[in-house]
Chain A
């Protein structure tokens, strides 16, 4: 999954 805890989108 996408960087869990590292969401880079607003």
Chain B
């Protein structure tokens, strides 16, 4: 474990909690893409299938449990508990265009052609594009609530920090996972536009509004 990975995990965890609290407290999922949250639930499910077979550490196992549980809770709140506030008309990204290519790619490019490894690879590829429905929805509605932009910032920063974690691990642990690194780069690049808006607008107290 290194400081970058730890801060990355904390950032990821806080993003998940910010979203959970935003929906639960405001009893509304307005402006939130249910499709992205569905994709995140798939990402965690396919990535953590080794939850019971491969014990790394208490930290690792407990974080996995929290991620999986909170992603399902978020999907449940959006599609069930507060579905009356779900803005389906603006959450129209075609997720099949994300799931199919990443599934095919995980069969073609992976570290090991075994079910668990292919599912892990699919999860890595899918995570890199899972935020697209949410970013698409923000661009369609032209704006995002400030709390939603904090959620997106924390979520984007987590994988950016992981990039530094991989530099660190390459330097000091001879660890190198090209699949995770390339997908992490793609994921971070997708946030660049949002990072620019967040830093130039939200941090100055303005509302996040995209040029419609």
Chain A positions near chain B (C-beta within 8 angstroms): 1-2, 4-10
Contact = CB atoms under 8 A, between A and B. Distances in A.
Interface residues of B, number: 23
Contacts, number: 34
Nearest to B114: A5
Interface of B is mostly: helix
Interface of A is mostly: loop
Contacts of A7: 47, 50, 120
Which 9 residue pairs across A and B have the least CB separation, nearest first?
A: A1-B111, A4-B112, A2-B177, A8-B56, A4-B111, A10-B63, A5-B116, A4-B117, A10-B9
5 contacts: A1-B111, A1-B112, A5-B117, A9-B180, A10-B63
B6 to A, nearest CB: 11
Interface in B132-170: 162, 165
